[in-house]
Every structure is written in structure tokens, then in C-alpha cells.
Amino acid sequence: MTGDRKVFSLAQVAEHNNPKDCWLVIDGKTSHDLEGILALKRLFSMGISLATDCVLIMHLDYENEFVCYAVVVQVYDVTKFLEDHPGGDEVLLSATGKDATDDFEDVGHSTSAKAMMDEMYVGDIDTATIPTKTKYTPPNQPHYNQDKTPEFVVKLLQFLVPLLILGLAVGIRFYTKSAPA
Ligand code: HEM
């Protein structure tokens, strides 16, 4: 299994970005044959690392069956699937040239969708060629309320207007009382 593993750079994958030749990079669980997994594990224990990120997971499932799979970032040729993709071809084409794992996961693809991917697998990606995800965190800035002045004026008017009306009413009353009839 390890001998014929093809490893691509992101730039190489990005060349396959059109309806006639469309490749995607998606990180997923892939169940490999036990022999292949054990061969990988032997390499790992010997301190030999692969060009790709690969995490081996082995556990017993609910029925005490021995399950093993590798998590690797893989490259899929989806060209033949473009027309049949239930989500449409455009989403697939727009997911080329990047790590489309999040796009794929966000949709919540079914296990049968994931199973289909095995047939489209063409190789793994050298994850060193994928730019690391950085989240934008805005710098800490003091809270500045742009509407402070109008807010203050409104509050002042709310206080002054009733006072003015009251003063006016008292003034009129005083004036009309004191004026000779
Ligand atoms: C090899 C890769 C892919 C395969 C085999 C695949 C397969 C499928 C399948 C079988 C479905 C039907 C629903 C399901 O069974 O989950 C589906 C739906 C969908 N997929 Fe994909 N897909 C792939 C990649 C992607 C990517 C990268 C995106 C986004 C950029 C995407 C977006 C969608 C959308 C939007 C739907 C429709 C969901 C809905 O209407 O509920 N797919 N896909």
C-alpha cells in the first residue's frame, strides 16, 4: 500500500480545476486493509515518517470487531462525479485548489457519500504545501462609541424640553393672571 502512494503538492492539485479535470483535497477517514495499516504502523514505530500527515486509529467497535483506519489528507478526482453530484458541479469546482475539508464537512455528508470517495481517491497531499489556517482576531481596541454625541444631546433634550414646556406654561399662567381683565 505504501509503495504506490502518490503524494501531490497543493499547487499540483490546483492545476486540476476545471469541468474536464477536477480534483479536490479533503481530509477524511479512510479504512485501509489491515495489512496496509500495520505496514504503516511499523514504519511509524521505526521512526520513519511519511510525507503526508497520517494518524492511525485502531480500536474495538461495539461488536468487539477490530477496526483500524488512517486519517490522511487526500486527493480525489471528482471529474466523473461532477454531473451526478447532488450538490451540483459548481460547488465542487469552487472547492478546487484548497483544502476543501471544511466545505465538505459543513454540508454534513452522509456515510454513503464518504464511502463513494474511495473510488475517487488518487493520492495524498503533502500537507506542508497547504497554508496553515489562521483565524483573524481583531486587535484589542478601546470601545469607541461613534454615536456618543447625538446620544448625549438626545438625553439633554429629553430633560430640557419638559422643563421648557413647564416654564412656558407657568409663565403664560402668571402673565394671564397678572394682566388686567
Ligand atoms: C468527493 C467529494 C464529494 C462527494 C463524494 C460528495 C457526495 C455527495 C452526496 C452523495 C450528496 C447527497 C447527500 C449525502 O448523501 O450526503 C452530496 C450533497 C451535497 N454536497 Fe457533496 N460530495 C463531495 C464533495 C462536496 C464538496 C467539497 C462540497 C462543498 C464545497 C459539497 C457540497 C454538497 C452540497 C451543497 C450538497 C447538497 C446538500 C443538500 O442539498 O442537502 N460536496 N454530496
| In a shared domain, residues 162 and 89 | no
Residue 49 is part of a domain; what is its CATH number? 3.10.120.10
* Tens digit of each residue's pLDDT (9 = 90 or more) over 96-131: 999 898 899 899 898 888 888 889 989 888 878 877
Q: What was the pLDDT predicted at 76?
A: 93
Does any domain span residue 139? no
Dist CA 130 CA 143 (whole Å) = 36
Do 77 and 160 belong to one domain? no
Measured in angstroms, how far is the CA atom of residue 113 from the centroid of ligand 1? 7
Pocket of ligand 1 contains residue 95 by CB under 6 Å: yes
| pTM of the full structure | 0.62
Residue 103 CA to ligand 1 centre (angstroms): 9
Could you give the C-alpha distances from 93 to 70, 86, 99, 133, 141, in angstroms and in order? Answer: 27, 14, 13, 21, 39
Q: Are residues 66 and 153 in the same domain?
A: no
**Within this chain, do residues 123 and 53 fall inside the same structural domain, yes or no?**
yes
Which residues make Cβ contacts (< 8 Å) with residue 11, sequence separation at least 6? Answer: 129
The ipTM of this complex is: 0.96
Q: Verify that 106 and 170 share a domain, yes or no.
A: no
Number of domains in the chain: 2
| Residue 120 CB–ligand 1 contact under 6 Å | yes
